[in-house]
Amino acid sequence: MKKSSSVSGFYKLNPKERLAFVKEFAGLSDEECLLLQNTGSLPLDLADHMIENVVGAFPLPLGMGVNFLINQQDYLIPMAIEEPSVVAAASNAAKMVRKGGGFHTSSTPPIMIGQIQAVGMKDADAAKLRVLKAKGEILKKANEQDPVLASVGGGAIDLDARVIHTSLGAMLITELHVDCRDAMGANAVNTMAEAVAPLIERITGGRVYLRIISNLATERLARAWCTVPKDAVGGEDVVHGIVSASAFAAADPYRAATHNKGALNGIIAVVLATGNDHRAIEAGAHAYAALKGHYTSLSVWEKNGNGDLLGSIELPMAVGLIGGAVRTHPIANIAIKILGVKTANEFAEVLAAVGLAQNLGALRALVQEGIQRGHMSLHARNIAVAAGATEELIDLVAETMVKERKIRVDRARELIKELGSTRR
């Protein structure tokens, strides 16, 4: 019989009942169902309240980035990620940066932009002037929505309006600037944008459609910079190679995408570990990288007069210590405690430093031995597990594959047979 994924009222079932449906649909074994429902430190009931249609949880490894000295303060960096090498590379790069005095950082206030799209006005430019004139009234309406945010010193602080010319004609985009303090702010800003929409319709005479935060958080930037002594990074040639890699990424979007992905490897791992919205960070980072009209790198590496390496990074960083899943996810709470950050701004700056470290780690490996040696050594363990190795055989098989430089599932299977039989 053909199976159907169309289920009415699936969301009304409890996780066990939903899993029974999935078991039947996908032919899962009892063991597989048990694994799905063994949600560890995220209780199934809590997971069920976080998103919809929950049947289980998906654990990721949590590693610690070490050696981070940021603004003369030591930080341990919790990183949740499935990719080998990332935590090791970040820790190694942070060690080199430490030799040059560590990372230095800065950030702008935590201001997010909420957009309200109005269409169908007779004269969009005249409507824009009316919106700007009504700024006080619009901001007051926005701030009435979130007295808690106002009580901690945040709230809608400014307003802008832009006429954009689209394939469907002129539109007026009103932008609320909201200081989100220690929240990421999407819920707060979206609530405000929806609340002021009727006012915008009345003022403009147009029709409002979208009322939503922008993830291109150009008003909420985090920066980090560092000096790495040439000897710490591997000598003059490595410095030259990294500077040349930086110029490559600045000029070529194909390289820039991977260059930025390298920095985001570290940033996203921390964002995930703390229960923050990593899609918002990735969207913001890539949009920011393309803001000048062509996609380019988020970081720059140069050589100073001494021959040492100077690196800097700047990107939007919409993260919070409050709201969303940050306070509800038990591991996210612990991760924030380990980080020890006291404000969303401090957190954003730490993330910029992690991104710069990760970028340095990747570039250094790329200009030297290439990333495959280190990467594949760690990856060999994953391959061994995928081939069916268990317990001590995982390391034995992985080490042998690395020595042979044959890190492949077929070789892992052969080795499991060979080494497994010699151990029996």
Q: How many CB atoms lie within 10 A of CB 166?
A: 9
Number of residues engaging ligand NAD in binding (CB under 6 A): 24
Residue in 83, 237, 410, 418 annotated catalytic: 83
- The CB-of-116 to ligand NAD minimum distance in angstroms stands at 15
Strand partners, 211: 116
Which region among 36-44, 187-195, 222-230, 353-361 touches ligand NAD (by CB under 6 A)?
187-195
Place of tokens 């700024």: 135
- Do 78 and 368 form a contact (C-beta atoms < 8 A)? no
Catalytic annotation on 375?
A: yes
Residue in 277, 308, 346, 349 annotated catalytic: 277
Which region among 42-50, 222-230, 315-323, 366-374 touches ligand NAD (by CB under 6 A)?
315-323
Q: Is 213 in the site for ligand NAD (CB under 6 A)?
A: yes
C-alpha to C-alpha distance for 84 and 110, rounded to whole angstroms? 32
One symbol per residue from 118 to 157: x for binding ligand NAD (CB under 6 A), - otherwise; what is it? ----------------------------x-xx--x-x---
Considering only residues 325 through 354, tell me which ones interact with ligand NAD, judged by CB under 6 A: 325
C-alpha to C-alpha distance for 277 and 326, rounded to whole angstroms? 9
Decide: helix, strand or coil at residue 8.
Answer: coil
- The CB-of-47 to ligand NAD minimum distance in angstroms stands at 15
Q: Is 187 in the site for ligand NAD (CB under 6 A)?
A: yes
Q: Is 323 in the site for ligand NAD (CB under 6 A)?
A: yes
- The CB-of-177 to ligand NAD minimum distance in angstroms stands at 15
C-alpha to C-alpha distance for 192 and 150, rounded to whole angstroms? 12
Q: Is 184 in the site for ligand NAD (CB under 6 A)?
A: yes
The residue among 342 and 373 lying less far from ligand NAD, judged by its C-beta, is 342
Q: Is 322 in the site for ligand NAD (CB under 6 A)?
A: yes
Q: Is 241 in the site for ligand NAD (CB under 6 A)?
A: no
C-alpha to C-alpha distance for 47 and 30, rounded to whole angstroms? 21
C-alpha to C-alpha distance for 239 and 309, rounded to whole angstroms? 6
Which region among 25-33, 159-167, 322-330, 397-405 touches ligand NAD (by CB under 6 A)?
322-330
Catalytic annotation on 277?
A: yes
Among 65, 102, 155, 320, binds ligand NAD (CB under 6 A): 320
Catalytic annotation on 261?
A: yes
Among 97, 116, 183, 384, binds ligand NAD (CB under 6 A): 183
Nearest to 75 by CA among 66, 85, 63: 66
Nearest to 100 by CA among 314, 246, 309: 309
C-alpha to C-alpha distance for 365 and 89, rounded to whole angstroms? 9
In 59-187, beta strands by DSSP E: 62-70, 73-80, 104-107, 111-119, 155-166, 169-179
HSE at residue 42, side-chain half, CA atoms within 13 A, is: 25
- Do 131 and 171 form a contact (C-beta atoms < 8 A)? no
C-alpha to C-alpha distance for 189 and 181, rounded to whole angstroms? 12
- The CB-of-333 to ligand NAD minimum distance in angstroms stands at 14
Active site residues: 83, 261, 277, 375
Give residues in contact with ligand NAD (CB under 6 A). 146, 148-149, 152, 154, 180-188, 190, 213, 215, 277, 280, 320, 322-325
